[in-house]
Structure 1
Amino acid sequence: MVKIHNKVVYGGPALSIPGHLNFGQFVLDELRKICETKADCVALINGETGEKTTYKILLQGLVNIGSGLRKLGVKRGDVVALCSENRVEYLAAALGALTCGACITPLNAQYTKDEMTHVLNISKPNLVLCSAAAIQANYATFKTLPFIKTIIQINGVPIERNVLSYKDIAVQTDVQDYEAEDVQGSTDICYLLYSSGTTGLPKGVMLSHVNVLYSLAYFNEREDLIEDITLLTVVPWYHAYGLMSTVNYILVKKKLVYLPGFNPRVYLNAIQEHKVNVLVAVPPIVVFLGKSPLAKQYDLSSVFAVWCGAAPLTSDTINDALKSLPNCMGVFQGYGMTETSLAATTDADIEKSKPGSAGYPLKGVKVKVVDLETRKRLGCNETGEVCLKGPINMKGYAGNDAATREMFDDEGYLKSGDIGYYDNDGCFFVVDRLKELIKYKGSQVPPAEVESVVLEHPGVAECAVVGAPDDAAGELPTAFVVSKQNVHLTQKDIIDFAAQRLSSAKRLHGGVIFIDAIPKNPSGKILRRVLRQQLKQYRKSKL
């Protein structure tokens, strides 16, 4: 179905979505339909505790909390925030709020006070649902913001007098009598999510009901998602990838094992115990599977596919991971961003899969690659900025019209900020971030390319490359390296290894800094701004 015309790659005819354009109504309709035949089938399993949640329990839970939120006055146009580790009540509350016509905004409970204040001032929720741990960490911040009128604690006894109990709020309601509030699906906001903030402060990404329904339509039509499979996810639900993939998998009747956080042994044991078939992963997990000796100690033979998003993987990293997964057909990547309602391209077609690629545009999506300077469209195998258009594109950034305008070009394409190209088949390869390119003596150095080379060293566990400012050269490629356990490496080991495999401009002219861990956001993207700050401090200490 993929076509290339006038230097634009077309994914084919658009997918169908319900005419009511109401995601909350769709959730109710779909869960009711599932419960007609699979009410007592397990939808979710907590991989840490073993707690199982059936479709019937999930539907009843979201209807009860939805009724309770309505009694509190939650209505169309309101913003409801959620701040918690992954837990069933989180999903029930999120879906229940959507049926009230509200927009939901998930918060990272690990935000600093300044980060939390920043994102809350974007979304301005009047009600926040939190776990006990999240309230303990953030209550003081919540109380400083006048627009937050109500705080509900999801689990345990409320730790503050003014905090309401989730159990007390929920109202027992007949699931057949409960209906979703009407919305204007093409304009009303369903999810207000936050950009990753890898290069600056997060922005509030507004996804409409149409955006979210279209993302779900892609999951519905994927033939690879056979019904009787079990998936494992550890991606936090406050992240677009975590929340949207989890909700979508539930609505297409897949059993999902979830974890509140990543612990290597717990993760591997969950695969073994629940005979997981598909891993919903981020790059650090794929690297872990390929490099950790722990992976050899568990039975991972049930895994037949790995879906990975958030950042590009190299063929070498994929091949290393497959050695730990004896029956796995492949590690398949999707490419997208919060601003594109999750995936924009996907490598899901096993017959057409190209290891290391981002795959082909979704149906209804158009993608072009443009020259960084002239903005002219480029042809096959020419590298430039990837730009996207279709029903996946966000409505815009909340309260930031200037940033919204800057994000779209004069043809209505969303400017991704990613550097990539497509081949003769219309298959895309993403090689780096535009803002992360290192400029060394006029040459553009993609950090991901240097990182993939350094990761080939048998003693390296993790690597991230940034540019160190330099008066003469502009920027010097500098590697932050995590050594494997009980392996002693020197700067010279890494510099010499890279020099044998990279052209002159791409070599590690800024040297190597050994650290204990590479800072990443929850989706696995390297936080290069944090590394640049560390680099400044490191260079000061050497003066």
Structure 2
Amino acid sequence: MSYAVKRGSPWKSQLYLDGVLDSIIQNGGTRAKSREGVNLAEVMFYCMKNSPDGIHTINGATGEKFTNLQILKRAVSIARALRSDRATEKVIIMLRNTEHMSALFYAVLFAGVVPFMMELQSTEYEIQQFLPLVSPHIIFCEPDRVDIATKAVEGTDIRVVVADGSSLDKFTLGCSDDIGSFQLPDVRADCTALIQPTSGSTGVPKAAMLTHEGMVMQMPSSWMHHTQFPRPTGMGLLLSTCQWLSHTLIMISFPVYQVPILMTPLKISAEYIAELAGKYRATWTLIGPSIAAQLGHIATPDQLSSFDRLFIAGSSFSPDMLAPLKDKLPAPPGRLLNVFGMTETHGLIAVGPLGTPLNSVGQINNILEYRLINEKGEIVKEPYEKGELYIKGKCIFKGYVNNEAAYRETVTPDGWLKTGDVFYRDEQERLFFVNRNKLSFKYLNHHVYPEEIEGVIGTIPGVHQCVVVGADAGPAAAVVLQEGCGVTREDIQQAVNSTLSDYKHLRGGIAIGKSLPTTHTGKVHRGKCLQLIQELVHRGECF
């Protein structure tokens, strides 16, 4: 039995990882005495070092290929530079997907520094919201984001470092890239490995602390269907950017299983995905449903013919919207799978067997215990009864940075994580999504946190009350103004557009009224507000 398994039999991908962990212990690559004690940095360093000629990164924009050894040597020199400043404990990373990002990602792990992965296009305001939460010593960013980052850290001692080739050369000047003499720091597996932004259960942006052991336990989840190891598939196509947990999962899992990562710094579109897949013959990817639907319409069967797995994740969808994509994939059927995961679980929660219907996220992974809890707080026992999904296991996150209250709202005293998502299950224990209890919603494959936008609108003099919901066209707001204040829709749009990222702009419209629906306790009733805004949109009064 694999050490991580809670229910049922281990997958072959888990048994393969067990062998890797045993080799690390036997060859002195860790101070740990058991598999669960091996930390993430030790796993990455060992696997990349022991496959030096294997391709790690393929830059889809340039066609350049970089071996594990090339990435590892670069990472070691950056790690030495980071450790030369003993004050550096946390950094923010805002980078596009290139070989420089790959090297920096591993460098911070090898240095024992905790990274916070942040959206590349974050505004000055958004960066500043996370500075007191994360307390970084350095922000690594792209050359075109230096001005924004520099303005965000004015008045602090936080350094801004450009993470392109020449700038990293300067940063690592005098630091050896010798792998043989490099020593990893002694870090316990239950310590924080990295911090990811997340909405949690309240809709407010938070920073989740993810542990070494949680990330290592999730490594096999992407390969649960495979039987050939190492290299269960030919090439993975990385489409998400660094603030997404799916990005982190690919960066840690693929080198361990010796799968090359195809990535690109260019803007992702369905047309570009089809071009990359056709040119490089990618065999695996994880993609959001909206862009997957677009891909089904514009890609040719030949461009998709190399794929053996496409994981669909990020939001709910109708299976009909993916029918064109499914029809263009090669036989046998079942290569297209709807999967479910959360940042707070370090990754995937449910993945179905091949051939699972697209309206199901499949069965709960064997590293987790689970239960469905109905509105009365009772455990659901019968198939087809609805309940909120609760899960438990060692890969549940450590907590939110400086937000113990939010953690207590999300995780019960006996360790059950409340996902905020309602499902029912069939006789085969396959889960089917019903609705989401969380306040956050997604637009253009980005998390949108209503309370963040409401906070900006609320700073406008004359705004008495506001609520933001997700409409078909994007975020929409209902606003109550103080009498005679003179605030216009244009004033509200300008405040939001000048402060927040493009995907948070109020494309769903603004409705201005005299009051908002409330609950019996006097709080804004978001469900009724959504219904109201939908009615106002239909009547042309929300624009």
Asked if 2 retains the 8 angstrom alpha-carbon contact of 1:81 and 1:125, the reply is yes
Letter in 2 for 1:337: M
User: Which of 240, 243, 252 is matched with 2:248 structurally?
Assistant: 243
C-alpha displacement of 1:395: 0.5
C-alpha displacement of 1:236: 0.6
Structure 1 stretch 251-260 or stretch 215-224: which is displaced more? 215-224
- 1:284 and 2:283 matched: no
Q: 1:251 to 1:129 in 2, by over 3 A?
A: same
Tell me how far apart the structure 2 counterparts of residues 234 and 535 of structure 1 sit (CA, whole Å). 35
Asked if 2 retains the 8 angstrom alpha-carbon contact of 1:13 and 1:364, the reply is no
Asked if 2 retains the 8 angstrom alpha-carbon contact of 1:206 and 1:395, the reply is yes
SS of corresponding position for 1:105: strand
Tell me how far apart the structure 1 counterparts of residues 255 and 385 of structure 2 sit (CA, whole Å). 39
Letter in 2 for 1:99: F
Tell me how far apart the structure 2 counterparts of residues 393 and 281 of structure 1 sit (CA, whole Å). 24
Asked if 1 retains the 8 angstrom alpha-carbon contact of 2:218 and 2:348, the reply is yes
Partner of 2:205: 202
- 1:341 and 2:310 matched: no
Tell me how far apart the structure 2 counterparts of residues 533 and 101 of structure 1 sit (CA, whole Å). 46
C-alpha displacement of 1:386: 0.7
Asked if 2 retains the 8 angstrom alpha-carbon contact of 1:83 and 1:128, the reply is yes
Q: Which runs of 5+ in 1 are unaligned?
A: 2-8, 159-163, 438-446, 452-463, 467-474, 483-525
1:405-448 alpha-carbon deviations (Å, 9 max, x no partner): 111124421000111122111111222211369xxxxxxxxx99
Letter in 2 for 1:339: E
Asked if 2 retains the 8 angstrom alpha-carbon contact of 1:84 and 1:134, the reply is no
Q: Which runs of 4+ in 1 moved over 6 A?
A: 526-529
Asked if 2 retains the 8 angstrom alpha-carbon contact of 1:269 and 1:298, the reply is no
C-alpha displacement of 1:201: 2.9
SS of corresponding position for 2:389: strand
SS of corresponding position for 1:319: helix
Asked if 1 retains the 8 angstrom alpha-carbon contact of 2:278 and 2:303, the reply is yes
Letter in 2 for 1:121: P
Partner of 1:23: 40
Q: 1:240 to 1:136 in 2, by over 3 A?
A: same
Partner of 2:181: 177
Partner of 1:397: 400
1:107-141 alpha-carbon deviations (Å, 9 max, x no partner): 11212222211122211111222221222332210
SS of corresponding position for 2:472: strand
Asked if 2 retains the 8 angstrom alpha-carbon contact of 1:380 and 1:424, the reply is yes
Asked if 2 retains the 8 angstrom alpha-carbon contact of 1:420 and 1:429, the reply is yes
Q: 1:251 to 1:107 in 2, by over 3 A?
A: same
Partner of 2:541: 542
C-alpha displacement of 1:273: 0.7
Tell me how far apart the structure 2 counterparts of residues 235 and 378 of structure 1 sit (CA, whole Å). 37
- 1:67 and 2:84 matched: no
1:41-68 alpha-carbon deviations (Å, 9 max, x no partner): 3222111221211111111111111112
Partner of 2:313: 309
User: Which of 56, 72, 94 is matched with 1:83 structurally?
Assistant: 94
Tell me how far apart the structure 1 counterparts of residues 60 and 344 of structure 2 sit (CA, whole Å). 30
C-alpha displacement of 1:165: 5.8
Asked if 2 retains the 8 angstrom alpha-carbon contact of 1:335 and 1:358, the reply is yes
C-alpha displacement of 1:315: 2.4
Partner of 1:510: none
Q: 1:320 to 1:297 in 2, by over 3 A?
A: closer
C-alpha displacement of 1:219: 4.5
Tell me how far apart the structure 1 counterparts of residues 165 and 107 of structure 2 sit (CA, whole Å). 20
Letter in 2 for 1:31: M
Tell me how far apart the structure 1 counterparts of residues 40 and 252 of structure 2 sit (CA, whole Å). 11
Task: Report the number of matched residues.
Answer: 442
Tell me how far apart the structure 2 counterparts of residues 220 and 390 of structure 1 sit (CA, whole Å). 20
- 1:44 and 2:54 matched: no
Tell me how far apart the structure 2 counterparts of residues 256 and 49 of structure 1 sit (CA, whole Å). 14
User: Which of 130, 148, 160 is matched with 1:151 structurally?
Assistant: 160
Q: 1:368 to 1:13 in 2, by over 3 A?
A: farther
Asked if 2 retains the 8 angstrom alpha-carbon contact of 1:130 and 1:152, the reply is yes
Q: 1:225 to 1:380 in 2, by over 3 A?
A: farther
- 1:423 and 2:432 matched: no
C-alpha displacement of 1:189: 0.6
Query: Alpha carbon RMSD of aligned pairs, Å?
Result: 3.5
Asked if 1 retains the 8 angstrom alpha-carbon contact of 2:274 and 2:295, the reply is no
Tell me how far apart the structure 2 counterparts of residues 398 and 533 of structure 1 sit (CA, whole Å). 34
SS of corresponding position for 2:247: helix
- 1:262 and 2:261 matched: no
Structure 1 stretch 398-407 or stretch 239-248: which is displaced more? 239-248
Letter in 1 for 2:271: R
Question: 1:337-376 maps to which residues of 2 (within 5 A)?
Answer: 337-347=342-352, 349-350=353-354, 353-376=356-379
Question: 1:5-24 maps to which residues of 2 (within 5 A)?
Answer: 10=7, 18-24=35-41
Letter in 1 for 2:260: K
Tell me how far apart the structure 2 counterparts of residues 61 and 312 of structure 1 sit (CA, whole Å). 40
Q: 1:11 to 1:341 in 2, by over 3 A?
A: farther
Partner of 2:135: 124
Asked if 1 retains the 8 angstrom alpha-carbon contact of 2:192 and 2:212, the reply is yes
Tell me how far apart the structure 2 counterparts of residues 152 and 232 of structure 1 sit (CA, whole Å). 28
Tell me how far apart the structure 2 counterparts of residues 384 and 165 of structure 1 sit (CA, whole Å). 54
Asked if 1 retains the 8 angstrom alpha-carbon contact of 2:123 and 2:148, the reply is no
Partner of 1:252: 257
TM-score, with length taken from structure 2: 0.73
Letter in 2 for 1:119: F
1:293-339 alpha-carbon deviations (Å, 9 max, x no partner): x3238632222321122223432233231123344632112211111
Tell me how far apart the structure 1 counterparts of residues 385 and 302 of structure 2 sit (CA, whole Å). 43
Tell me how far apart the structure 1 counterparts of residues 206 and 326 of structure 2 sit (CA, whole Å). 36
Identical aligned pairs, as a percentage?
Answer: 20
SS of corresponding position for 2:58: strand
- 1:233 and 2:238 matched: yes
Letter in 2 for 1:350: L
Q: 1:478 to 1:302 in 2, by over 3 A?
A: closer
